[in-house]
Amino acid sequence: MKNFLFPVLILLTSCFSGVNKSSENILARVYKEYLYESELEDVVPQEANPKDSIIIVQNYINNWVSQKLILNKAHSNLLDEDLQFEKQLEEYRNSLIIYQYESKLISQNLDTVVSDEELETYYNDNLGNFQLKDNIVKIYYVRFDSDIPEFRKVRRFFYSTNPEHRDSLEVYIEKIADLFYLDDETWILFDDVLKYVPIKTYNQEAYLQNHRKIEIKEEPWVFFVNFTDFKIKDGVSPLSFEKENIRQIIVNKRKLELISQMRNEVFQSALDNSDFEIY
């Protein structure tokens, strides 16, 4: 729609410095409807440069014309009963108002702090709901160039159970490794490990049951991997793996209770004050 460019340029030249109502520019027309300059007053961000402003305004005008044309086509092809949206719109508006109020109520009153005791209690009371869907592991691994002079020392430190060696390992890893994971206190998905460590297996369960400390060479790299624990899918998921999930469940339950309490209080207050009647 190149014929829109000229009024757009006039509009941008004025930089929306104010609209003269007595001589307001018409930017577009569709049948008997007009798009006026004032309707674009807030369309262009103040920080937009002239080139971007022209594009933004052109797109707005084009979309306005397209929408009006399609609306006209729809009106001319639909029956009157097809256009009766008042009830639906009112119900939608009411739902939005209630949702907005409930959101404000939740943001102002919801307690999102969940204690470890609450997490543990919920976990123990609902063990049947925490079944592992995937294999999980506790692991630490490292990848580095196989030609490094410290190769033997790193291997010894990596597989040692001596806490001092573990400290030394972390110092070495920061210097020589380009990929590593050392948090073997946290449960993670075995599938996530496979994204970084080239373990080849068609049976994860059998692999985990038969491998704890492994070394993988994939030129020019070598991987040291140590599985400190694992749990097979379909077993009970550990609490530490489910903590965030349980926290969300408890908080969502509090949300529902807060909303239910508010609704009951509103109803009871209205009942006590005879604010409604049911005939």
276 pLDDT more than 90 = no
The rounded distance, in Å, linking the Cα atoms of 74 and 222 is: 66
Does the pTM of the predicted model rise above 0.95?
Answer: no
Structural contact between residues 143 and 177, judged by C-beta atoms closer than 8 angstroms = yes
Fold of 127-231: Chitinase A; domain 3 (3.10.50)
Structural contact between residues 122 and 242, judged by C-beta atoms closer than 8 angstroms = no
Better pLDDT: 81 or 225:
225
Burial pattern 173-186, b for ≥16 Cβ within 10 A else e, equals beebbeebbeebee
The rounded distance, in Å, linking the Cα atoms of 29 and 64 is: 10
The rounded distance, in Å, linking the Cα atoms of 194 and 181 is: 13
Return the DSSP state at 134.
S
Instruction: Provide the mean pLDDT of the chain.
Output: 85
6 pLDDT more than 70 = no
Between the alpha carbon of residue 112 and those of residues 30, 107, 197, 200, 254, the distances in Å are: 53, 10, 37, 43, 9
Overall size of the chain counted in residues: 279
Q: Where are the alpha helices (DSSP H) in the chain?
A: 5-13, 50-77, 86-109, 116-125, 151-159, 163-176, 190-194, 204-210, 239-272
Better pLDDT: 176 or 22:
176
Residue 252 CB-density burial (10 A; 0-12 exposed, 13-18 middle, 19+ buried): exposed
The encoded tokens of residue 4 equal 């829109």
Nearest Cα residue to 24 out of 7, 45, 6, 47: 7
Q: 31: phi > 0 → left, psi -120 to 50 → alpha, else beta; which?
A: left
pLDDT digits (tens, 9 = 90+) for 218-255: 888 899 999 999 999 988 999 999 999 999 999 999 99
Q: What residue spans define the domains of the chain?
A: 2-79, 127-231
pLDDT digits (tens, 9 = 90+) for 100-129: 999 999 999 999 999 999 999 999 999 989
79 pLDDT more than 70 = yes
The encoded tokens of residue 78 equal 């639909």
The rounded distance, in Å, linking the Cα atoms of 161 and 177 is: 20
Structural contact between residues 131 and 235, judged by C-beta atoms closer than 8 angstroms = yes
For range 10-39, the mean pLDDT: 68
